[in-house]
Amino acid sequence: MNQDSNADVRVGVRTRSLSDSRLRYIRQLGATDIFVDHADTEEEPDEFNDRDGTDTIAVGPNQIPSVSELEAARERIEDAGLSFTGIQSLPYSMYGDIMFDRDGADEALDQITTLIRNLGEADVPILGYQWNPRSVVPMRTSPVEDRGGAESTAFDYDELDEPDELAPGIDREYTEAEFWDNYQYFLENVLPVAEEAGVDLALHPIDPPSIESLGGIPRLFRNVENFEKGMELVPSDNHGLKLCLGCFSQMGEDVTDVIRRFGERDQIIFIHFRDVVGTMPKFHETFVDKGNFNTADAVRTLHDVGFEGPVIPDHVPKMEGDDDWRHRGRGFTIGYLRGVVDTVRSEQTQTTPAPEAE
């Protein structure tokens, strides 16, 4: 992985807007790393429909940012005292044809590899991605009321309309073997380019997880075992996990065990730090200080495995007075995570024996 050997666990932010006010606010919160969300709001759930200014980076079919555009964004971010660490995720519109082996797959691969090369030339080290038809099948169902009346997203399998019917736009049911073949073809084409460009590719779990197939579409990255298979399919030092703790919590996994499992193999590139109440087939997202796992234990485990990189809030509850980006919910999460990270770092310093005098 392309991690700074002098780095530690850092707190970053995902944002679509790169407006001056947004960057100032993020810097004021004490976050350090920026992951830019792509600009196609139709590809994201409502909480990411970020309308704070028009300054962003468009990433989509036939919308590949040039090296100069990426460098200009990096300079703008650095001028605000922050680091442009990566692109949060590829939109489904860029990889869908590859996933389903449709006409246009090779053109999509050309565009993705161009993006990777451009990121490398612009010194942007990470590209997150999913293997998830998120615009075809639902990611969440009805929201729920959380602490103090905050609104949190939720999933309840029983609320799905006709889950066994083919998803819109799908003309037949696909097999898991087909999807593994198509995924391997994707990796065989993009990983050599990522290695040459010095860019890490970070794979996110399917969300919601655990379901083998939905709407006739296999859901490959639904469990720990399939992540291990995905990492072994085309081995590369430039391939790892966008380790979404919330997704593994939704699976009912022990999050600290998952961190150890992949962290000891140096396969964690960055962390989506969130949690839920409940597990599949019914859960709701919640504040980072309440949920299925203990936040401090997770951060301690990251230190134990030597993880050096950013943790970023992912989905956050909508608090009173929040904007579309949920700036208050995100601000609370960043502050809480920074406090836990600093506390754990202090614990580690106190328990590390001093070097013996010569």
Residue 106: which residues within 8 A CB-CB, separation 6 or more? none
pLDDT band at 139 (very low <50, low <70, confident <90, very high): confident
pLDDT at 135: 63
Strand segments (E) across 192-281: 200-203, 213-214, 217-218, 239-244, 268-273, 275-279
Mean pLDDT, residues 106-124: 98
Q: Which tokens belong to 139?
A: 């990611």
The fraction of the chain above a pLDDT of 90, given in percent, is 82
Residue ranges of E strands in the chain: 10-15, 33-36, 83-87, 126-129, 144-145, 151-152, 154-156, 200-203, 213-214, 217-218, 239-244, 268-273, 275-279, 282-286, 310-313
- Residue 352: the pLDDT is 61
C-alpha distances (whole Å) from 308 to each of 65, 270, 350 are 28, 9, 19
Amino acid present at 188: E
Tens digit of pLDDT for each residue in 249-262?
A: 999 999 999 999 99
Q: Per-residue pLDDT averaged across 129-154, rounded?
A: 90
The lowest-confidence range among 108-117, 210-219, 270-279 is 210-219
- List, for residues 214-233, the tens digit of each pLDDT value: 999 999 999 999 999 999 99
Q: Cβ distance 154 to 280 under 8 Å?
A: no
| Banded model confidence at residue 163, pLDDT cuts 50, 70, 90 | confident
* pLDDT tens-place string over residues 320-349: 999 999 999 999 999 999 999 999 999 888
Examine the pLDDT at 185 and tell me if it is beyond 90: yes
| Structural domains of the chain sorted by starting position, each given as residue range(s) with its CATH number in brackets | 10-348 (3.20.20.150)
Which residue has tokens 């072994």?
232
Chain position carrying tokens 């084409």: 189
What are the residues whose beta carbons fall under 8 Å from the beta carbon of 261, sequence distance 6 or more? 224
Percentage of the chain modeled with pLDDT above 70? 90
With 50 as the cut, is the pLDDT of residue 23 above it? yes
